[in-house]
A and B are shown apart, each in its own frame.
Chain A
Amino acid sequence: MAAEVSSKYAVQMHGITKRFGSFYALTDVNLDVERGTIHSILGENGAGKSTLMNVLYGLYQADEGDIYINGKKVNIKNPTAAIENGIGMVHQHFMLVENFTVTQNIVLGSEPTRGPIGLNMRKARQNVLDIVKKYGLDVEPDKLIRDISVGMQQRVEILKALYRGAEILILDEPTAVLTEQEIDELLGIMKNLVNDGKTIIIITHKLKEIQASSDTCTIIRRGKYIGTVPVKGVSEDDLATMMVGRAVQLVVDKPPASPGDVVLDIQNLYVKNEQGIDAVKDLNLQVRAGEIVGIAGIDGNGQQELMEAVNNLKKCKGRILLCGEEIQNKNPKYGIDHGMATIPADRHKDGLVLGFSVYENTIMEKYRTEEFSPGGRINRKKMRSFAEELIKAYDVRPEDCGPKLAGGLSGGNQQKIIIGREIAQEPKLLIAIQPTRGLDVGAIENVHKMLIRERDKGVAVLLISFELDEVMNVSDRIAVIYDGHIQQIFPHGTVDNRTLGRVMAGGSLEEAELEQIRKAGDANTAAGAEAEPETSAGPAAEEPAEAEAEEPVASAAEEPTEPEPETSTVPAADGGVELQNTEQMKETLAQMQKSLAELQKQIENMQKALAGMQ
C-alpha cells in the first residue's frame, strides 16, 4: 500500500504503530505526501490523526515504523529534530505569548542577535516583514497577540514555522476556530505557500475544506490506515464513507417511540464560545416526552455551548423552554429543580467529585432536599442506603465501593454512578452528552438500554454524541448540528451513515435524496399506528419557503425551517418506526450473537493458552 521511498515525496511514514499502554492509537499507518502539494488527513474524532502528526513532529515516538523526509530516513526524537528537518506544526491550540508582540512571538527562541547578548529586534522585524510580503500573510508585526484576532494569531503561528525554515507545514484542525471569511483567507495563504514549493499537511474532518484545498487525502479510521485518494474525482460521499466506515453497528432493540408533549423547546438560541464568537447561531430544537433526539455533529460545531446554555452554565440569547417555562439565563439549580438532569461529557470534570466517596457522589443534587438533609444535617444513613440501592441497581463494581473514593473506580463504573444518580432525579428532560465515551462495548449497550428505558417511561431525552453509530441507533430523531445550527433533522431509519456524515461535515443533500428520505419518513408514518396529525405537514416541507409559510399549522412537530436554500426539513419522527425493518434487524441480531459466541470461545482459548504460558 505504501509508496516506494523516493525523493519526490516530502514526507513518507511507513508502518507507523503507536501504543499507549495496551491501547493502539495507530496500527501500521502509512502516509506519503508529495512535495509541493496539500495533503489532508481525514478521520473521525479519536481516529489517530493528531497522534500520527505528533509522531511526525517528534512529540511522540512511534513504537514501530519508519519516517522518510525527502527520501531519506530520519529519526525524529523531539520537535527540535523535526524543525531541523524542515517540519513545522501549527497546533489547534495556539502556543503564543499573549503579551508579546507578533514579531517577538515569531522570533522567540531564535532571535537575531547583535553582539554576544544584544537583541536585534529591528532585523527581526524586517525578517518577519519579508516573509509576510512573500506569502501575502496579513499581520501587523508590532501588535500584541492578545489584541489580534484568532485568524491573525493562526497566521502568526504559521509565520513562526516559516521563520524557522519549515518546508513541510502541519496544520492541526486549522479551521476549527476560524470564521468563514478567515477560512477563505487561510485557503489562499495555503495556495501561496504551495506555489512556492512548500508542502502542507492538514488534519481535518471537514469534507468541504478537503474538496476546496487539498490535492490528496489519506483516511484513517480507528488508528488504521484506510487509503489514500486524489481529491479530484472523489465525491464528498465517498470520503464520508471511507471516514465513517461500515463499522459493526450495535443495534439496540427498541420499540417505537410514542412522543408526547414538547418538553424542551429551544428557540432562536445564540451562544458565544470562549473566543466571543457565536458558536450556536439561531438554533431551534424541540424534544418531546418519550422520544430520544440525538444531536449528531462533529466536535466543535456548537454542541458544548448548546449544552452549557441549556444547563445555565453560560449566558445566551434566545429562549429555552422546559415544559413551557423559560429556564435560560438562570442558574444550574433552577434547571435541575425544574426537572432537568444531565449526564455530562466529562465525568471527571463535571460529573464527579473524585475526592468524595461514592456515597457522597450519589447525592450531588439530592443532598439539598429535606429527605437527605433534614434541618441542614446530612442523613448519612439515608445517603448510604440510597447509594447502596443505586450501586446494586446499576451494577457498579466493586460492590463494596460505597465508602471508597469515586476516583478509584474505573471509567465505566463512574459513568454508571452518574447515570444512576441523574435518572434517580426522575427528570422530565434527560440530557446525555457523550454518555458512552471511553466505555467498552458491554457498558455502551447498557447505557443505551438505560436511555431507552427512560424514554419509555415518558422522559424526553436529548442525546449529544460524536459517535455516529450511537446517534443513529439510539435516537428517534437525529438532528444534525453544523456550525452552530441544526442543519437537518432525520427520523430514525431514514438516513444512512454516509449521508449523515456528509451533512455533518456541512454537505448538502440533493433533491432526489431528500425525496427518498421523505418517502422513508412517510412509510414510517403509514406504519405507525399512533400517527399524529402533525405528520401531515411532511409534504409541506418540499420547499423550504413553503414550509416556513405553513409553520403555524405545522408548528409542534416541525422544526422551524432555516432560511438558507440548502437546508430543508424532513418530517419529524412520530409513533411509527420501520416495521418492515424489524425482521431484518432480528436476523442481524441473531447473526451478531452467533459471532459474539464464537469470539468468546476464541477469547477463552486464548486465555487458556495464556495461563499455560504463565
Chain B
Amino acid sequence: MSLRKRFFSNPFVLTIIAIVLGFCVAGLILLAAGYPPVESIRTLVQSMIGRPKDISSVIIRSTPIIFTGLGVAFAIKTGLFNIGAEGQYVMGCVVATMVGSMLDFPKPVAILMVVISAMLISALYAGFVGLLKAQLGIHEVISGIMLNWISLYFSNWICGLDFFHKPGTIGMYPVNPCTYTMILPAWKRTEAGEAFMEQYPVLKETLGRTDVNAGFLVAVIAALIITHLLNRTRKGYELRAVGQNIHAARFAGINVNRSIVHAMMISGALCGLGAAFYVTGQSPHTVSTLSAFENVGFNGLSVAFIAFSSPIGCLFAGLLFGGLLYGGAGLQSKVGAPTEIINIVIGVIVFFCALSYLIPRFVDRRDAARLSKKRKKQMQKEMKKGGSNVN
C-alpha cells in the first residue's frame, strides 16, 4: 500500500474531505440561489462558534444527537443497523419524564432513577428488535421503523393521559427539579451566584444564559466506555465477531442470537441515556405531543455515518451536526438564506462519507496507472536498446 493510499484510507482524512466537499456543494447552491457563498458560510461558522454562548448552546444541542449517534455506531460495529434509535429515544424521553415528574428524592438518587428507567425502557425496546431478528429473522430495519411509529403514538397517548398531562399545555408535567442535571441550576439563580458570574463574563454568557448540563461529559465517558467494551472485553469481542462474520462466529461457538439481542440492548440503552439527559438537562424538561418525529434518532444515524462508526468520532461528528443545526438559524436571520441549506450541507456530507470508500480505490488506480506508464516507457527504452534480446 502506497503512503498516499494509506493517507487517503484514514477515516479521519476521509471525513474531513467529505465535510469540505459538503461545504463546497452548499456554497454552489447558495450561489445559485443568489446568496453570497463565502459570506454565508462565514456567517454560519460564526453563529456556531462566534461567542461563548454559541459554543455552549452547540454543545447542549449536540448532546442528545451524540448519544443516539453512539447507539447507532455501536450497532453498526456489531453488524446491526439500528434505525429504531428514534423510537428508542422517544421511549426514553417519555419514561424519563414520567418517572422524573413523580419522583421526590435527594438529587443523586432521583437522577439515577430517571437515568436507569430511561435506559432500561430503551434497552428493552431495542432488545425486542434484536429478539425479532434473532428468533424470527425479521430484519432490524423493518421492525425498527415500525416500532418508531409505535413509540411516537405511545408518547402522544401518555401526553394525553390525565395523570401526566399538564393542563393548559400540550405536554406532560415536567420532571421535578430534584432530577435536574444542569450544572448548579439553583445556585446560578441566587443572588450570590449572579454576583459571582458578573465577575466572569464568559461564565455569565454560558452558565448563566444556557442550560449547561452534565450530558456532554457523560457522553464522553460513554464513548470511552463503549470503545473499551468493544475492543478490550470478551463481550465486545463476541459482538464484533458476530457483526463482522456471523458464520465464523457461530462456528467458533459464539451464541449468535444472544449477541444480537445484547448488541441491540446496549445500542438502545445509549439512546435512552441521551433521552434521560435531554429531559433532565434542558428546558422545557418535558415531552410534548408530537405530530412528527424530532429526528434525534435519525440524526444519530447521520452522526454515526460521518464518524465512520467510531464512538470517539461520534463526539466530534455530533458536535458538527449540532453546530450546523444551531448555526442554521443564524444563517437565516443574518443572511436571509433558508435553513434548508443546512439540511443540504448535512446531506451532502453524509453522501460523500458514504462514497468515500471510493477515494482509496481512486488513489490506487491512479498509482497503478502511473506505474504501468512508467513500466511501458522502460520497456520501450529497452526495446530500442536491444531489440532482439527481448523475446
Chain A: residues with CB nearer than 8 A to chain B?
A: 311, 313, 331-337, 342, 344, 346, 349-356, 360, 363-365, 367-368, 373, 376-378, 380, 612-613
Contacts and interface: CB of A to CB of B under 8 A. Distances in A.
A346 B236 CA distance: 25
Contacts of A337: 253
A350 to B, nearest CB: 4
Contacts of A336: 252-253
Given A377-B232, A378-B234, A331 B390 contact: no
A365 B254 CA distance: 8
Given A356-B241, A378-B234, A342 B390 contact: no
Residue among A334, A350, A363 with most chain B CB within 10 A:
A350
A333 B248 contact: no
Given A378-B237, A612-B389, A342 B232 contact: no
Contacts of A311: 251
Contact of B237 (A333, A349, A354, A360): A360
Contacts of B236: 378
Contact of B234 (A352, A354, A373): A373
Given A378-B237, A613-B390, A353 B244 contact: yes
Contacts of A352: 245, 248
Contacts of B389: 612-613
B250 A368 contact: no
A612 B249 CA distance: 49
A254 to B, nearest CB: 28
B234 A377 contact: yes
24 contacts: A311-B251, A313-B250, A332-B252, A332-B253, A336-B252, A344-B251, A350-B248, A351-B248, A352-B245, A352-B248, A353-B244, A353-B245, A353-B248, A356-B240, A364-B248, A367-B237, A367-B238, A376-B233, A376-B234, A376-B235, A377-B232, A378-B236, A378-B237, A612-B389
A363 B252 CA distance: 9
B391 interface: yes
A419 to B, nearest CB: 14
Contact of A350 (B234, B237, B247, B254): B247
A350 B250 CA distance: 8
A342 B251 contact: yes
The 7 closest A-B pairs by CB, nearest first: A333-B253, A364-B252, A373-B234, A355-B244, A350-B251, A336-B253, A353-B245
Contacts of B244: 353-356
Interface in B218-260: 232-238, 240-241, 244-245, 247-255
Nearest to B242: A353
A365 B244 CA distance: 16
Interface residues of B, number: 23
Q: Is the interface of B mostly helix, strand, loop or mixed?
A: helix
A353 B249 contact: yes
B300 to A, nearest CB: 23
Contacts of A313: 250-251
A370 to B, nearest CB: 10
A351 B251 contact: yes
Contact of A331 (B232, B249, B255): B255
Contacts of B248: 349-353, 364
Contact of A349 (B232, B233, B241, B245): B245
Contacts of B391: 613
A342 B254 CA distance: 14
B234 A332 contact: no
A571 B287 CA distance: 79
Contacts of A365: 252-253
A365 B234 CA distance: 11
B232 A380 contact: yes
B380 to A, nearest CB: 13
A333 B254 contact: yes
Residue among A378, A380, A612 with most chain B CB within 10 A:
A378
A360 B240 CA distance: 11
A595 to B, nearest CB: 27
Contacts of B235: 376
A349 B247 CA distance: 6
Given A337-B253, A356-B240, 6 more contacts: A313-B250, A349-B245, A355-B244, A368-B253, A373-B233, A376-B233
Contacts of B233: 373, 376-378
A375 B245 CA distance: 25
A346 B240 CA distance: 20
Nearest to B250: A332
Contacts of A344: 251
Interface in B57-91: none
A331 B257 CA distance: 11
A612 B386 CA distance: 11
Nearest to B235: A376
A331 B258 CA distance: 12
A354 B232 CA distance: 19
Contact of B241 (A334, A350, A364): A364
A378 B390 contact: no
A151 to B, nearest CB: 27
A355 B248 CA distance: 12
A95 to B, nearest CB: 23
A527 B390 CA distance: 61
Contacts of A333: 253-255
B245 A332 contact: no
B386 to A, nearest CB: 10
Nearest to A354: B245
Interface in B241-285: 241, 244-245, 247-255
A166 B70 CA distance: 57
B247 to A, nearest CB: 5
